[in-house]
Amino acid sequence: MTDPRIVRRPAPQWPGDWPDTLHPRLQAVYAARGIQSAEQLERSLAAMLRPAQLKGVDAAVELLLQALAEQYTITIVGDFDADGATSSALAYLALQAMGAAEVSYLVPNRFDFGYGLTPEIVDVARQRQPDLIITVDNGISSIDGVARAQELGIKVLVTDHHLPGPVLPAADAIVNPNQPGCDFGSKNLAGVGVIFYLMSALRGALRQRNWFAENLLPEPNMADYLDLVALGTVADVVPLDHNNRILVYQGLQRIRSGRGRPGINALLQVAKRRPERLVATDLGFAIGPRLNAAGRLDDMSLGIECLLCESESLALEMALELDELNSDRRAIESNMQQEALASLQSIDLEQGEEMPWGLCLYDRNWHQGVIGIVASRIKEKFHRPVIAFADANADEIKGSARSIEGLHIRDALDAVASANPGLLNKFGGHAMAAGMSLSRDRYPDFARAFDQVVRASLNANDLQAEVLSDGELAEEELNMALAYTLRESGPWGQHFPEPVFDNVFYLVQQRIVGEKHLKLLLATDPARQNLLDAICFNVDLQQWPNEAASRVHVAYQLDINEFRGRESLQLIVRHLQACE
């Protein structure tokens, strides 16, 4: 394993005129992220793509109009992650607001039923006697589940964002921007974004039919659901293209202004985040994991009920339960990660054995709900695609995959399946994350096949981790004003990363805080007169503190630290190396 290297992004020139108020440093940041026009910086709802562009949305709306007119019993089948939870909550709330009398949600327990609309979960839903099943954040690969529902006389509406396979389910309607023939301008909607668009289209159709006035219903304001959309979008780590940035920005603004749902506010409270200072990374690193903990260790219904709750006190009780589950998850994850690292140390590098390029890890005692996080942590440490496996039942194991730039993980699994018929029982996912199942006795065969596909897809340079920097900041730029500007110029996230800069600093002080975080005092000048606070989270304790280091090369983000009501500039260290 080699340490990451700091690589500066190219600084393309802005082809036109920036707004007069835009900071020159921010101009360079935006240009490096592919912004080509001032219109791409627009964050108003008016700049959003229209629902009519989604293939299948008209058929889906007609089906829902019929369901409302004939008072169908509706069951929403969701996924057991934060995107699935926010999607389920949004669909439930919006349908109720539009007059659905009998609507409920059902989330498969990942340990009993696995992912998606399986025939088994259809049989569970059947007990509710639904006329219509709506999938959210799943369903595009549920060929057998949809067939089972139709066999039982249940209509199915699939809403999903995952990549489809070669055959689509024979649902009554499908809304998915990634289905063949869909011309929607963003292929990066999360599941919650898809159901938001569908509910918006339904609201428009009902308005045209004078539905709300005739049924004495207040017309719902779809912006009221944008806090859920922002949370699910960021937590699912989908690319923040222009349309997703609008959705996330608008959701953040609602939460900041005190209009967030009680459940989201309660989760912020237990995470010690102030709503008025909320940024997108808080949704991804503070709220998302607590919501996900329910689906990983127990039942995602607790997370959904927290999001649906109208009582602040009850929402706080549920948020505290989710916080406790998240603490349990972290403890389990830490043990599993240590076991994974210990197994990797058994590779005898001195005898020439090379670590696989596509890395598979399996322990029959691992927790199925946490393998995705372990795969992510090992991927970050060794910078190569990783799949962590755990037992699903007596004969089958399930894997959760995380990839690096340059390898589309679902396509890689498809290549494995095509070259090795029958090896994979099922698989699905995105470019950077995927899930699969296979027979336990085929694990060695799969590990070899996966490594072969990865080696054929990548080269050695792809395995070199890089920290991309937006360049060096001048001493006069290291100030609160620029930190505020950057903070408010997002939302930042996947494929639209928060600005990172790199400088060489003089190291004045270093100490460990909170067991594994390194607190630093840095200086820009040899006289140590211009001092800056910095912190590096989850530092390698075998390398730091380093008393021999007098100068350090630091990749960092500008941040504003608040302590006892006072704000000060702080550098969040993303990479740290001693200068020779």
How far is Cα of residue 323 from the mean position of the Cα atoms in its chain?
Answer: 19
Sequential DSSP letters for 397-443: EEEEEE--TT--HHHHHHHHHHHSTTS-SEEEE-SSEEEEEEEGGGH
Give the pLDDT confidence of 494-504 residue by residue, as tens digits.
999 999 999 99
pLDDT score of 419 more than 80: yes
What six digits make up the tokens of 550?
């007098």
- Band of pLDDT at residue 440, cut at 50, 70 and 90: very high
d(CA 385, CA 368): 19
Give backbone dihedrals phi and psi of 50, rounded to 5 degrees, phi first: -90, 145
The pLDDT score that the predictor gives to residue 113 is 66
Cβ-contact 554, 522 below 8 angstroms: yes
The DSSP H or E segment spanning 90 is helix 82-97
How buried is residue 165: exposed, middle or buried, by Cβ count under 10 Å (0-12/13-18/19+)? Answer: middle
Q: What percent of the chain has pLDDT over 70?
A: 96
Instruction: Select the more confidently predicted residue: 349 or 172.
Output: 172
Other beta carbons less than 10 A from residue 373's beta carbon: 22
Region 357-364: mean pLDDT is 94
- Band of pLDDT at residue 350, cut at 50, 70 and 90: very low
The pLDDT score that the predictor gives to residue 534 is 96
Beta-strand pair 5-8/73-77: unpaired
d(CA 558, CA 569): 7
Which residue, 485, 211, 456, is CA-closest to 358? 456
- Band of pLDDT at residue 299, cut at 50, 70 and 90: confident
The pLDDT score that the predictor gives to residue 144 is 95
The pLDDT score that the predictor gives to residue 402 is 94
Cβ-contact 413, 420 below 8 angstroms: no
How far is Cα of residue 347 from the mean position of the Cα atoms in its chain?
Answer: 32
pLDDT score of 532 more than 90: yes
pLDDT score of 432 more than 80: yes
Distances (CA, A) of 8 to 11, 63, 235, 241, 548: 9, 51, 27, 22, 27
Instruction: Select the more confidently predicted residue: 2 or 495.
Output: 495
Which residue, 186, 230, 176, 156, is CA-closest to 56? 176
Among the residue ranges 240-244, 424-428, 531-535, the one predicted with the least confidence is: 424-428
DSSP H helical segments within 209-356, as ranges? 211-214, 226-235, 242-256, 262-270, 280-282, 288-297, 301-308, 312-345
pLDDT score of 196 more than 80: yes
- Band of pLDDT at residue 114, cut at 50, 70 and 90: low
Give the pLDDT confidence of 24-34 residue by residue, as tens digits.
899 899 999 99
- Band of pLDDT at residue 2, cut at 50, 70 and 90: low
The pLDDT score that the predictor gives to residue 353 is 60
The pLDDT score that the predictor gives to residue 108 is 79
pLDDT score of 316 more than 90: yes
Give the best-scoring range by mean pLDDT among 67-71, 234-238, 326-330: 67-71
Instruction: Select the more confidently predicted residue: 514 or 244.
Output: 244
Average pLDDT value for the chain:
92
- Band of pLDDT at residue 265, cut at 50, 70 and 90: very high
- Band of pLDDT at residue 17, cut at 50, 70 and 90: low
d(CA 27, CA 35): 9
What six digits make up the tokens of 391?
């037992």
Residue ranges of domains in the chain, CATH in brackets: 5-34+467-578 (2.40.50.460), 49-322 (3.90.1640.30), 352-463 (3.10.310.30)
Cβ-contact 57, 198 below 8 angstroms: yes
User: pTM value?
Assistant: 0.91
pLDDT score of 184 more than 80: yes
The pLDDT score that the predictor gives to residue 418 is 93
The pLDDT score that the predictor gives to residue 400 is 93
Region 477-484: mean pLDDT is 95
Among the residue ranges 143-147, 334-338, 530-534, the one predicted with the least confidence is: 334-338
pLDDT score of 352 more than 60: no
- Band of pLDDT at residue 349, cut at 50, 70 and 90: very low
pLDDT score of 14 more than 90: no
Q: What percent of the chain has pLDDT over 90?
A: 77
The pLDDT score that the predictor gives to residue 1 is 52
